[in-house]
Structure 1
Amino acid sequence: MKKIAILNGPNLDRLGKREPEIYGSTTLAQLEELVRAEFAGKAQLEFFQSNHEGALIDKIAALADAKFDGVVINGGAFTHTSVALRDALLGAHLPTIEVHISNIYKREDFRHKSLTAPACIAVITGLGLEGYFAAVRFLLKK
């Protein structure tokens, strides 16, 4: 069974409360339950969220050392600012898919540039929470 990690960056712990007109009313805990239910018996899933860049970087290294089969990452604002997160993803050598709940290209200009996307095999943006499911499905086929 493939081991897939789902990482969420800053402010994603506020899903369901923060800007529901953009991110919806589902909480991060509810999203985790939905994803676990969808892929029960198909994948070993590990979820991790942090508002701290270093914690995400440490987690990516730990996933590489544990020989995970893939990563789904919503880096939140770090997507647009963190060379260190990009370097961690590149150094991990894990198939990674970047996910954004909103369509980043319909938002502020600074969100149009992803520093982490070049370290990923794909980017899913604007599908809402379905992006997480699509990413896991793809990684299971990889």
Structure 2
Amino acid sequence: RDSVFCLLGGQANVASAVLSRCLKRLSDDYEQRWGHPVFLVETFVDPSRHRGTCYLASNFTVLGTTLGYGRVSGRYVHHGKQKLCLARLLRRDALSILSGEFDHPAISSTPRRKAPLINLNNVNFEGDSGLLARLSQICDHRKP
């Protein structure tokens, strides 16, 4: 979190080689520590300072740009500096796992994973007391 990966000059392909080795270990290391695997990684690049060449060379996909917000003391503050958002799947089946059923075995069968607090199949989404109505009452503090 909040780490910078930057190599200035030097030898060709070093950045993508280091990044590749880190990504190969990431999911297993994370699962050992936190009890569940990682399926997708994201990163942000400041296009006014860097091009994100090592990420693009390592098969990251450009998702778009941010709205120019950053976190300061746990709150979002608009600083106006848009960053490029890139992501990469760590497994071939990651997209189907992340967009599929709630109880995919790769996610729910890990030892530290607890049962969901809410069964989304039984949630009332419609009406005045439904989830959508309640969510619409939440104020987005990033908007003026």
Instruction: Give me the TM-score of the superposition, normalised by structure 1.
Output: 0.27
Q: Which structure dedicates a bigger proportion of its chain to helix?
A: 1
Query: Which one scores higher on RCO, CA 8 angstroms, separation ≥ 6?
Result: 1
